[in-house]
A and B are shown apart, each in its own frame.
Chain A
Amino acid sequence: MSPHITITTGIAFVLLGCVFLLLVVVPLLPTYDPYTQDLASSLLLPFERLDDGRLSVFGTDKLGRDVLSRMALAGWVSLFIGLSAVAVSMVIGTVLGLAAGYFRGWVETAIMALADLQLSIPRVLLLIAVSALLGSTVVKLALLLGLTSWVVYGRVARALALSLREREFVLSAVTQGATPAWNIRKHLLPNVLPQVVIVGSFDLGQIIILEASLSYLGLGVQPPLPSWGLMISEGQSYLELNPWLSVIPGMALFMLVAGVQFLTQSITAEGAEERELAVKPLS
């Protein structure tokens, strides 16, 4: 393993380790309390003391709620939405893509037309319109993000299916009377899955950012449930007074997304290509 890869992986583990501490250890602390309001000690800076002398590690928000606890809960919300959305879009995209690539003909035309239509609307705009119109609970958000993100999986699955359907093992199964559903499940799906999972790990970060953007605009996670995007937006009014209210959630967001991206980067082919490129040309 070259040093380049080790450094990337190392950074990824440090970033994800911090997020892990926040998400798993903080809820176990005796001071964990994301909801109780205390207007007497609102907008405390990090490491200031509450009235009763307790230390407030990340400070408090405008309603006096503990930022550290809210950060931890918000992290679970983001992670839950992100992972479910990726799962939803992965299933939809793989099924549609495989169907398009295996059946060809009008099925392919219809599915690809749907993909083109969806790509013709900027995703943020589509999400803003749809989430505002249909409301946004956590489950709805996860579904919505999933339903609008399937195209990339669909394309990958279709491209692979197009070549797989011509392979001998698929053709021989067809001559022996295999149904399309059986063939897709037994022969196409296992060959497509590794690629699709890689695409999914790249997309996870972008989905989490999208969720945060929607919540920032007030169209995502609704209060009193915390979300990193929502916390950044609430903190924006107090930039002069207590900038940490916006800075801290953003840092957590960055650590999670960058951690996932660096990790994927170091595992997948792009990392391998990078090593190959380091070989100098002939000059």
Chain B
Amino acid sequence: MISFLLRRLLQSVLTVLGVLTATFFLVRLSGDPTTLLLPVEATPEDVANFRAAFGLDQSWLVQYVKFLASVLEGDFGTSLRQRTSALGLVLERLPATMELALTAFILGLVLAFLIGLATRMSNSARLRSAVMWIALARQAIPVFWFGLLLILLFSVTLRWLPSLGRGTWAHLVLPAVTLATYEIALYLRLFHSSLAAEERQDYVRTAYAKGQSRSKIIIRHMLPNALLPLITIAGMNLGLLLGGTVVTETVFSWPGVGRLIVQSVSQRDYPVIIAGVFVVCLIFVVINLVVDMLYAWLDPRVRLS
């Protein structure tokens, strides 16, 4: 278990380093921010001063090494626009993103679990395939358009809920539901097929032969096994959810990290983009690490292989 843990930890550190390197060079590939940030009438002297102030006049390699060193100290530089700490700007927005992502995650997981279990217990093939159809259809709807439809119905037409910004719990409802329904669709399909796979196992047939009731077999025997893949996918998906929040935050003007990154991209605010991508990836890597640990603890075959 210890060696598995160490190996997995090393892998995570390498991943984070790779992400940092890729981000840095991609950003430098895209061009020079001086032309965008300085007024048209700036003298060549102004340009040189600006470049020196932000370290843009040195070679890429020097910039890269300096960048890695300062990242280790938690310093991602100063926002080119707002003149405050880039990491600070990102961390300021983080609670909003976490609030949205976690609410949607829990809502999605719990509902998918309940609906999946209920349709399996009912033993009606027609109900099951109807639920799967709805799930499949939901997956074909882009997150941002579903969000817009919710705004159209609940904000514009019925005027029950606010459509923009963050504040009261009412602001949270539409974005969280938008994200959660996508989650439900994904988990339901997965939960459905893993339960179905268990249904065909010998131990289930034996249990039926012993005369146990169907509900008892599902809950006591099949459920623990069917939950394993769900945990993995749910963990991996928390990262995808972070990606999905980027779009959802833009639809609902939710002041989170995703919206900050999108805005910074259009303003070519490099330090904020890097800090934002780094923070999201770090969260993603940590989540995957935790999920793998959880999985190894639940299923000994993983850590022994």
Contacts and interface: CB of A to CB of B under 8 A. Distances in A.
Interface string A244-283: 0011001001100110011001000010011001101111
Tell me the interface secondary structure of chain B in the complex.
helix
Contacts of A133: 26-27, 29-30, 265
A28 interface: no
B148 interface: yes
B148 A236 contact: yes
B122 interface: no
Interface string A225-237: 0000100110010
B129 interface: yes
Contacts of B244: 124
A280 B120 CA distance: 11
19 contacts: A113-B14, A116-B11, A117-B22, A125-B242, A125-B281, A133-B26, A213-B144, A216-B247, A217-B262, A236-B148, A243-B152, A246-B152, A250-B148, A258-B137, A261-B140, A274-B129, A277-B125, A277-B199, A282-B209
B63 interface: no
B284 A121 contact: yes
A247 B288 contact: no
Contacts, number: 152
A167 interface: no
Contacts of A239: 148, 151-152, 156
A213 B143 contact: yes
Contacts of A83: none
Interface residues of A, number: 52
A228 B95 CA distance: 32
Interface of B: 11, 14-15, 18-19, 22-23, 26-27, 29-30, 123, 125, 128-129, 132-133, 136-137, 139-145, 148-149, 151-152, 156, 193, 196, 199, 204-205, 208-209, 214, 239-240, 242-244, 246-247, 250-251, 258, 261-262, 265-266, 273, 277, 280-281, 284-285, 288
B143 A122 contact: no
A279 B205 CA distance: 14
A261 B185 CA distance: 14
B288 A254 contact: no
Contact of A243 (B156, B273, B280): B156
A280 B209 CA distance: 15
